[in-house]
Amino acid sequence: MVQGQPNLWAKSYINDGYLMLPDLITQEECDDLKAEMLKIFRGDYPCEAIPPMPETVSETEVLDRIMCVGEPHVFSPLVRRYIEHPKICEVLQTIVGAHIPFWDGGVKCMQSMMLSKVPGHTGNPWHQDEHPIPTRDRSLLGAWITLDDSTIENGCLWVLPNSHRSGVIYDRVPHDKRHEFDSCHEAVGFDDTDEIPIEMPAGSVLFFNGYLLHRSKKNRSDTFRRILVSHYCSTASWLGWKGQRNYRGITTVAGEDPYIEEGHVTPNVWARWE
């Protein structure tokens, strides 16, 4: 674990493919985000993808009905604040493109997601985030904020150390492990015996590279494992994503946007129900 030493953040991130920093988010901030998550999942914001539920429904019932909400920052000013959180941006400006010669420190966010992971919810099988979201310079990074203590029992992230190094993308296929993982396809073709769990206290942030193989397992505890994860890359990278030559549903969080003349689009909010 590296803390308070920006010169070591980049070294550690490049070498290991991930960097875990505790205490970036205060307990109070975690509580604010958890309260906002409840509103979002209950359907308090007018949004076609998330039909409203009555206010009388319990927190567990609200969080149980949806596994993941995509792009909540579009309608939630509070979530929007966290994709631009000053402490997170300080780290991003140091590590996102640290491997790229002459990188100017520019960082853009192209996606946010909130996962509820109540007891009994399944995990997410092996994958690399650059598989669906390819950058041109291997700069994709996930910033995974845990709002609860994230443990092996409640379904923390597992990573395969060094798997980001080769630059190889492993293809994803349907799997038959629905007792453990959700319906997303699973990356295959590598040896996963060296995987390690990343247990994290609430308020910690895991920064991980888009080529790093990672997964999470089923929540077998009686506690929630709520998270907000946002994905970023260098501002200079075109984003050939969602059928676009250079996807423009982005928020610049550090530096200048060299493609500003291409304008912006508003990301579509979505929800994954199983």
Count of all residues that appear for the chain in the document = 274
- Residue of 219, 212, 69, 53 lying closest to 151 (CA atoms): 219
Asked if 217 contacts 159 with a C-beta cutoff of 8 angstroms, the reply is: no
Structure tokens at 143: 């910033």
Residues 208-227 interacting with ligand AKG (rule: CB under 6 A):
214, 216, 227
What residues are paired with 215 via a beta bridge?
158
CA angle 267, 135, 145 (to 5 degrees): 60
Asked if 111 contacts 267 with a C-beta cutoff of 8 angstroms, the reply is: yes
**Which lies closer to ligand AKG via its Cβ, residue 209 or residue 216?**
216
Q: Nearest distance from residue 270's CB to ligand AKG, in Å? A: 15
Q: Nearest distance from residue 128's CB to ligand AKG, in Å? A: 9
The one segment of 121-129, 172-180, 190-198, 235-243 that binds ligand AKG by CB under 6 A: 121-129
Residue 11 phi/psi, 5-degree rounding, is -60, -45
Q: How far is C-alpha 190 from the geometric centre of its chain's CA atoms?
A: 23
- Residue closest to ligand AKG, measured at CB: 216
- Our finding on whether 128 is near ligand AKG (CB under 6 A) is no
- Our finding on whether 142 is near ligand AKG (CB under 6 A) is yes
The one segment of 76-84, 94-102, 122-130, 166-174 that binds ligand AKG by CB under 6 A: 122-130
Q: Nearest distance from residue 133's CB to ligand AKG, in Å? A: 10
- Our finding on whether 144 is near ligand AKG (CB under 6 A) is yes
x/- map, 59-98, ligand AKG, by CB under 6 A: ----------------------------------------
- Our finding on whether 129 is near ligand AKG (CB under 6 A) is yes
x/- map, 99-118, ligand AKG, by CB under 6 A: ----------------x---
**Mind spelling out the 3-state secondary structure of 72-127?**
HHHCCHHHHHHHCCHHHHHHHHHHCCCCCCCCCCCEEEEEEEEECCCCCCCEEEEE
203: left (phi over 0), alpha (psi -120 to 50) or beta: left
**Which lies closer to ligand AKG via its Cβ, residue 156 or residue 259?**
156
Residue numbers at the binding site for ligand AKG (CB under 6 A): 115, 123-124, 129, 142, 144, 214, 216, 227, 229
